[in-house]
Amino acid sequence: MTDQEPILDPNDALDRESFQRLFGPLRPGLKLYCYRMLGSLHEAEDAVQDAYLRAWRGRSGFSGAGSLKAWLYRIGTNACLDAIKRRGKARRILIEDGSPPSTRPPEGAPAIETAWVEPFPDTELDRIPDAAPGPHARIEAMESVRLAFVAAIQGLPPRQRAVLLLCDVLGWSAQDVAALIGGSTTAVNSALQRARATMTSRGSQPAPAPGGSELAGKDVELLARYVRAWQERDLDGFVGLLKDDARYVMPPWREWYFGRDAIGQFFGAVWPRYGAFRLLETRANGQPAFALYTRASEEQPWRVHSLQVVEIDQGAIASIVMFMGELGRAHVSSFGLQAELPA
């Protein structure tokens, strides 16, 4: 780690005010790290709360060797590993492993018992005072928070997940990570190579995206056309914005759709069931996002239907993830948006 951090003298008394002054600025970054580890905003919040409680109770055990950030991230990593262990074999997903794309509308009930990857509000990213990675980072900061990447790393064993995030995303050295999670530098490098190989084999290693979260003018226009297509119920216009190999995923439904034709057929079947659409723009995971509201008539209020996270690639819509039903309503509240809008 290269950033200059305050060092705590173990001989100094650490009261609550001093604890908050030293550790408070580290909280947003730790929350994002825990989110990447767990794939859940709400579980990340619990893990951070747990980590800070452990840090406060164990403050007298800090040796003064090393940085406060490394000490806190060691505690946060352990909190995340404990949370993952409590889950058992369950892990958060966007698409079930081996699940083929669907060609028909979903049947039966949604998979509400499944643990789905959750979106992360960009307002949380804005609270991180300095997100610059260390010199060993290999993955762009904004790419590492994208929904597809967060979903992909949930398939890694927990310690490999931690090593990949600490080394390739946060840019810590293998020596630093070994001191943080335990074990030798050789063991950390071995775990890192296995994690990288797994991600590459699954096609999940993201390529850097120039410009970060800033949208180019053509992408702004693309999203404006996307909103118009929804609100004007222009199915042909909507389908024309999609890449040929676009994906549409809709947790908590297991079904997902691949390709412009399949997605168009799906929406052609379901759009007639709704009266009108209204989209409110937000951002999630460094990507464009929208809260979708519907109503049956002009006299009725707009009620939230879902939260959409949209990925753009080469001037077209590459993927849409729509968090539906109660799942969508819960996420909309996390983004500070209302569940109902006046008529």
Residue by residue, DSSP assigns 167-226 as IIIS---HHHHHHHHSS-HHHHHHHHHHHHHHHHHTT--PPP-TTTTPPPHHHHHHHHHH
Distance CA 303, CA 296 (A): 10
DSSP-derived 3-state class of residue 242: strand
Average pLDDT in the 31-49 region? Answer: 97
Average pLDDT in the 10-32 region? Answer: 81
Query: What value does the mean pLDDT of the chain take?
Result: 89
* Per-residue pLDDT reduced to its tens digit, 205-239: 554 444 445 677 899 999 999 999 999 999 999 99
pLDDT at 136 over 90: no
Give residue 229's pLDDT: 98
Domains of the chain (ranges plus CATH)? 16-201 (no CATH), 217-341 (3.10.450.50)
pLDDT at 10 over 90: no
Q: Quick check: 324 and 253 in contact, CB under 8 A? A: yes
Distance CA 38, CA 196 (A): 18
Give residue 18's pLDDT: 81
Give residue 84's pLDDT: 96
Average pLDDT in the 158-174 region? Answer: 96
Task: Work out the pLDDT band at 67, boundaries 50, 70, 90.
Answer: confident
Query: Tokens in use for 276?
Result: 């009108």
If we measure between CA atoms, which residue out of 51, 25, 26 comes closest to residue 38? 51
Q: How far is CA 62 from CA 51, 54, 176, 306, 337, in A?
A: 14, 12, 17, 45, 41
Q: Which tops the pLDDT comparison, 236 or 58? A: 236
Measured in degrees and rounded to the nearest 5, phi and psi for residue 197 equal -65, -40
Q: Give whichever of 2-11, 147-156, 210-219 has the largest mean pLDDT.
A: 147-156
Give residue 207's pLDDT: 46
If we measure between CA atoms, which residue out of 235, 339, 258, 241 comes closest to residue 292? 339
Max intra-chain CA distance, the chain:
69
Give residue 205's pLDDT: 54
Distance CA 258, CA 245 (A): 6
Give residue 26's pLDDT: 93
CA dihedral 236, 240, 244, 247 (to 10 degrees): -70
pLDDT above 90: percentage of residues in the chain:
70
Rounded (to 5) percent helix, strand, coil in the chain:
45, 15, 40
Distance CA 108, CA 278 (A): 27
Give residue 14's pLDDT: 64
* Per-residue pLDDT reduced to its tens digit, 294-331: 999 999 999 999 999 999 999 999 999 999 988 999 99
